[in-house]
Amino acid sequence: MLKAINTKILLAILAVLTAIGGALTYQRHDAAKAAAAAAKAATILQQRQNEVEERKAEDEAFRRRVEADKKKHNSSAAHEGKTWQKYIP
């Protein structure tokens, strides 16, 4: 009788240990999955930041080019006031 109770207790302990082991394995797997997701998110964030910096640099270069073009094309605008005054229809 005592041997049967000891066997049942041992089986119960074994079942509890198996459940705890399964829970720990699941927790490790879940933690690894979360770490992988965090690493992927960090990579995506870094890529987006790089894209934003590149876009800023391109915009700044475009603005400089536009300002240079304005200065180049507006140089003749200083003489436009004189041309219409001399116009005779």
Q: Where in the chain are the domains?
A: 2-73
In angstroms and rounded to an integer, the radius of gyration of the C-alpha atoms of the chain is 38
For residue 71, what pLDDT band results from cuts at 50, 70 and 90?
A: confident
Give the DSSP H/E element, type plus range, for residue 87. none
Q: Which of these ranges, 17-21, 44-48, 65-69, has the smallest mean pLDDT?
A: 65-69
Share of the chain above pLDDT 90, in %: 65
Average model confidence (pLDDT) across the chain = 86
For residue 51, what pLDDT band results from cuts at 50, 70 and 90?
A: very high
Neighbouring residues of 7: CB distance < 8 A, sequence distance ≥ 6: none
